[in-house]
Amino acid sequence: MHELMHVLRRMELKLNLLLRHTRKMEREMSVEFDDLKREVEESRTVTESAAALIQGLADEIRANKDDPAALEELAKALDAQTQSLASSVSANTPNPEPPGPTPSGL
């Protein structure tokens, strides 16, 4: 009977350890999920802003279709905005980690 109690106690300790580990993983996943939701919202906002910008440019092109000087100024403004956007994306994009070593035989 004593040996059975010892085995049960060891099982209880292991189950408690697993439970603590599971709870820790749940907390970490919750934080990661919240971060992901925030990033999706930020992405949605940026996408909507870009769509509004593109629509505005289309409207300006239509309004100035018969004015080459105005279209040239619009093209210059678009070039500047494109460069600014490209720089911002580049500055805020993490560099990918280099791949790890490939196991031999693959």
Which is nearest to 57 in space by CA: 38, 37, 80, 40? 80
User: One-letter amino acid identity for 13?
Assistant: L
DSSP letter at 95 equals P
pTM over 0.95, yes/no: no
User: 64, 75 in Cβ contact below 8 A?
Assistant: no
In this prediction, residue 92 carries a pLDDT of 75
Which pLDDT band holds residue 103 (cuts at 50, 70, 90)? low
CA nearest to 54, candidates 87, 85, 78: 78
Give tens-digit pLDDT for 47-99.
Answer: 888 888 888 888 988 898 899 999 999 888 888 888 888 888 788 777 767 66
Q: What is the DSSP string of 22-51?
A: HHHHHHHHHHHHHHHHHHHHHHHHHHHHHH
> What pLDDT score was predicted for residue 9?
94
